[in-house]
Amino acid sequence: MHRDRVAPILIALLIAAVATPAAAASEALEALRDYYAQVETLQGEFEQTTRDDRGEVVEQSAGTFAIDRPDRFRWSYAEPFPQEIVADGDRLWVYDKALAQVTVRPQGQALGSAPAQLLAGDYAGLEAAFAIEAEADFVRLTPREEGQAFVEARLRFDGERPTALEIDDALGQTTRVALSALQVNEPVDEQRLRFEPPEGVDVYRGRVGQGRP
């Protein structure tokens, strides 16, 4: 190849190498905005894996979820330890079936790390609570205030559908939540978005930050 043709080709390759990550980051941010603009309800299944700071698996769980934006959701852990996290728009309930114990606190106090809490709000609220930064194929959320339940979260999308969340906590652990069998903008059974403590369980007024990530 003639030498005077090499330089333009190299320049084009360099531009492509720079432009591709930038375009992907722009798409990731657009997907986040599309989610909050277009998705009113989201239901599906999840698999959750937590690794310690050495990368070793310390917990695995799975279950189902339902989100009715902007402020109601149910996150149900089916295995290995059944637990229900329910936000009814006023209060946040955490029901540990094995312990026969319910913790409840005002929902407005709960800027927690539960995946549903990140996906159930609105974009304005997300911007107010987090610094938002788009990377090559995900969106990074960093709490604006110190002392929160996690130090960073990353959201991945396929179009306006969230497919995975990764959450880093203050202990150096990373929790990855993979979402599947998604139903978008389908009606959610109202019973899933309400919670009444079962008879015989202990009910406690909890602290901010209690409950599983």
Is the C-alpha dihedral spanning 42, 63, 113, 163 positive or negative? negative
124-133 pLDDT per residue, tens: 888 888 899 9
Query: In a 3-state reduction of DSSP, which class is residue 161?
Result: strand
Q: What is the pLDDT of residue 166?
A: 93
Q: Strand 202-205 relative to strand 57-68: parallel, antiparallel, unpaired?
A: unpaired
- Low-confidence stretches of the chain (pLDDT beneath 70): 1-25, 109-114, 206-213
Domain 3-89+107-194 superfamily per CATH: Lipoprotein localisation LolA/LolB/LppX (2.50.20.10)
Q: What pLDDT is attached to residue 159?
A: 85
